[in-house]
Amino acid sequence: MFFQPVIGSGGYSGWLVLQRTETRQREIFEQSPTLERNVEYFRENIESAVTAEDLVSDRRLLTVALGAFGLDEEINKRAFVQRILEDGTESLEAFAVRLNEPRYLALAEAFGYGNTGGGENVQQEGFREDIIARYKVRAFDLAVGEVDNDARLALNFRREIADIASEDTSEEVIWFRIMGRQPIREVVATALNLPQEISQLDVDRQRELFEDKAASVLGTSDPTVLSDPEVIDDLLRRFFLIRQSQSGPTSLTPGFSALTLLQNTALGAGATQNLFQSQF
């Protein structure tokens, strides 16, 4: 059985459809044969992967392991992944620590091959089921992304932003972490209506621009506000509506008939876009 997530007409209305039906859609998706085979294979065989080399040498095990942490694109980088796993996370010189990529850090810490008691984690049933649960969540994200990548970005943002925003560190560091996580950055920058070109600026200047726009849009430059579910919902609404504005209105856009009429008058396309953007 092949299951394709239902996103409605896409955009913000599609996101609302996905949210309303998400629980049931996930249940159906998790019954897909490929997913079930991967999960069962991992459950039955992961305890035999007592070293990092064992894990990366088994492509099916590695598929689930990497997928659980959103690292699917690394599946062909066996030597790279093995080094990350073998170095662990307990030393400041560990490869994953120096890379400063949260997904690699989480992978290396979870499997623990390079840490004290390395290789013991894969023997634990609780560990296996945690990795499987993570894999199922991420696999659904990927399936959604095949239909609508903006919806995939939104799922990822909704799941991860609260943890980033509530970290026990300074506001500046939180902004830098938001800016450094590309999927998270894309949602926030779009919702704040920041142009992609700012990525060419000095990172401190970029942070200032994020702070200024957040203060204007959210009423505060404090990034910890992004842990509030209502703020998350509002940012995602803005994200989808601005995306829709950038790609231009369609026949499914609320008020499309009025916008079309305006386009045929002296107001022009610029006024049309301003009218659309005024909705948020």
* Residue 200 pLDDT: 93
Maximal C-alpha separation, the chain: 72
Contacts with 28 (C-beta within 8 Å, 6 or more apart), sequence order: 3
Q: At what angle do helices 229-247 and 149-165 cross, to 10 degrees?
A: 150
d(CA 261, CA 5): 35
* pLDDT score recorded for residue 278: 42
- Taking phi first (over 0 means left), then psi (-120 to 50 degrees means alpha), and beta for anything else, what does residue 2 get? beta
Kindly give, in sequence order, each residue whose CB lies less than 8 Å from that of residue 176, ignoring residues fewer than 6 positions away. Answer: 203, 207
Rounded mean pLDDT for each run of 10 residues along the chain, 280 residues in total: 81 95 95 95 96 97 96 95 95 90 92 90 92 96 95 96 92 94 95 94 96 96 96 96 80 47 42 42
Q: Which residue is it, tokens 């500046």?
A: 172
Whose tokens are 């859609």? That residue is 25
What pLDDT, on the 0 to 100 scale, is given for residue 250? 53
The pLDDT value recorded for residue 51 is: 95
Separation of alpha carbons 232 and 238, rounded Å = 10
Collapsing DSSP to helix, strand or coil, 217 comes out as: helix
**DSSP symbol at 185:** H
Q: Which of 120, 123, 129 minimizes the C-alpha distance to 47?
A: 123
Inter-residue contact 276 to 249 (CB < 8 Å): yes
Three-state SS for 8? coil
Q: Phi first, then psi: what are they for 240, rounded to 5°?
A: -70, -40
DSSP class of 167 = -
- Residue 93 is given by DSSP the state T
